[in-house]
Amino acid sequence: MSAYEPVLLRRLGKKECQSIAGYRADGGYKTLERVLREMTPDQVTTQVKDSGLRGRGGAGFPTGLKWTFLPKGHPGPVYLCVNCDESEPCTFNNRVLIENDPHQVIEGIILASYAIRAKTAYFYVRYEYGFGTRQIQKAIDEAYEAGILGNKILGTDYSLDIFVHRGAAAYICGEETGLIESLEGKRAWPRIKPPFPAIEGAFRKPTIVNNPETLANVVHIMDRGIEWFKSLGVPPDPKNPRDAGSYGPKLYCVSGHVNKPGIVELPMGVTLRELVDKHGGGVWKGRKAKGAIPGGNSMGVIPESEFDIPLDFNGPGTVKALGLGTAAVTVFDEETSIVDVLYNLCRFFAHESCGQCTPCREGTGWMLKIVERIRNGQGRREDLDILEEVADRIGIMPGTTICGLADGAGWPVKTAIRKFRPEFESYLKEGTRGGVRLKMAGAH
């Protein structure tokens, strides 16, 4: 890939990158002022829709299309909810934005709110993001003082208030209806859909939910235009009628067994191998990679032989992963036991299931108990088939749960077993972990 100049992260490390003075000195809020004075809300929506921007929060739904789902002529109020819960393990792209360039996100919030005719936006932040919460609140306060928030923004007829709301420290709060329930002061149980939030969301009013990275992209689409945005990334696959393309820049998180863990901004479509070898500095300690989680725990597990896939919205699916997800890549090396990897994944999802849906509540617990038994040297060969069956039968896609947490819990189980089955069978037969014979059952 040729050299790429960052857009979303271009201000990181600059002096006063967090302040409104620094942001405006770099041209910040000029796009907002031009849009508010020269464009209608419908024109903004159309430009975002035509750009092909897809949500960066995990599902990859077309952003502008989502905005059009709002009821026409609704008397209001209409709300924007900013989903900065970001509880997917090893995901930190939104945290980097709100901690280091909060005004870029705020400008995106105002543009999106204007497009959907919202007068109130709720900024929902993961509870653990204490510093990020303080940074975004400070930036909001600066924006109010500068007349960029509140009544008659920048002397126009548009007004907007933003309220920061700290999350409930639970993974399920990242699901948009779970987030809305939490915002309303209730237990974060996802709602049955339909109605979708665009019809009946926060406080039973039409609501759009987008994450900070998505909204930051809106700023640059409105500034640089559709052609620029579509010049980056990957066009739709003509062989896949369901592929809407993967346009624009993306923030990729790299962690696990690499020499340079961190975040990198690249056009959509970089291969997993390039991300690991070039931007992640390769696998640590001179070892080789055994596999990776390509986009957050819920996307599944793939072996090193599949590292040449493009990390766009279509690529991971070609190797039976669930999707791109949050683009949080976690690498594990050749000395890591796939049994240990799967145990940690199952433990996470069993802990984070909200318990509302029986298949998820019971299924995640069953999978954890079975994997724990295998890990302790008490597994049976038929356990692998049982795990695959449970993983296949829970989730939205088979139609058994309200939200996608169960799908996210099942995907790493079935991909790990199907792609690393010989290692699981060896473990069951020989009592080995990562190629090293255990001294005793359950040894670490």
pLDDT at residue 431 greater than cutoff 80: no
What is the average per-residue pLDDT within 423-439?
69
Contact between 348 and 298 (Cβ < 8 Å): no
Q: What is the pLDDT of residues 297-314, one digit of tens each?
A: 999 999 999 999 999 999
- Give the mean pLDDT of 2-26: 92
pLDDT at 176 > cutoff 80:
yes
pLDDT surpassing 50 at residue 438? no
**Res. 443: pLDDT tops 60:** no
* pLDDT at residue 158, as a whole number: 97
The string of pLDDT tens digits covering residues 204-247 is 999 999 999 999 999 999 999 999 999 999 999 888 888 889 99
Tell me the average pLDDT across 115-120. 98
- How many angstroms separate the CA atoms of 439 and 233, rounded? 50
Predicted confidence band of residue 17 (pLDDT cuts 50, 70, 90): very high
Residue 437 scores a pLDDT above 80:
no
CA pair distance 55, 209, nearest whole angstrom:
10
* From 33-47, 77-91, 329-343, 419-433, the region with the lowest mean pLDDT: 419-433
pTM for the whole thing? 0.93
- Whether 120 shows a pLDDT value over 60: the answer reads yes
Scan for tokens 């039976």, then name that residue: 320
Task: Kindly report the three-state secondary structure assignment for every residue of 15-55.
Answer: CCCCCHHHHHHCCCCHHHHHHHHHCCHHHHHHHHHHHCCEC
Percent of the chain that is helix, strand, coil (3-state, to 5): 45, 15, 40
pLDDT of 442 > 70? The answer is no
**pLDDT above 90 covers what percent of the chain?**
90
Asked if residue 292 has pLDDT above 50, the reply is yes
Tokens of 75: 């008397």
The number of C-alpha atoms within 13 Å of 215 and in the hemisphere containing its C-beta is: 32
The domains of the chain, with CATH numbers, are 20-231 (3.40.50.11540), 248-333 (3.10.20.600), 338-435 (1.20.1440.230)
Q: pLDDT band at 435, cuts 50/70/90?
A: very low
| Whole-Å CA distances, 155 to 34, 83, 107, 152, 237 | 12, 29, 16, 5, 45
The residue type found at 3 is: A
The CA-atom distances, in angstroms, between 91 and each of 94, 293, 317, 337, 347 are 8, 12, 20, 22, 18
- Give the mean model confidence (pLDDT) for residues 63-89: 95
pLDDT value of position 433: 53
Average pLDDT, the chain: 94
Q: What mean pLDDT do residues 176-187 have?
A: 96
Sequential DSSP letters for 207-219: EEEE-HHHHHHHH
Which pLDDT value is given to residue 241?
Answer: 84
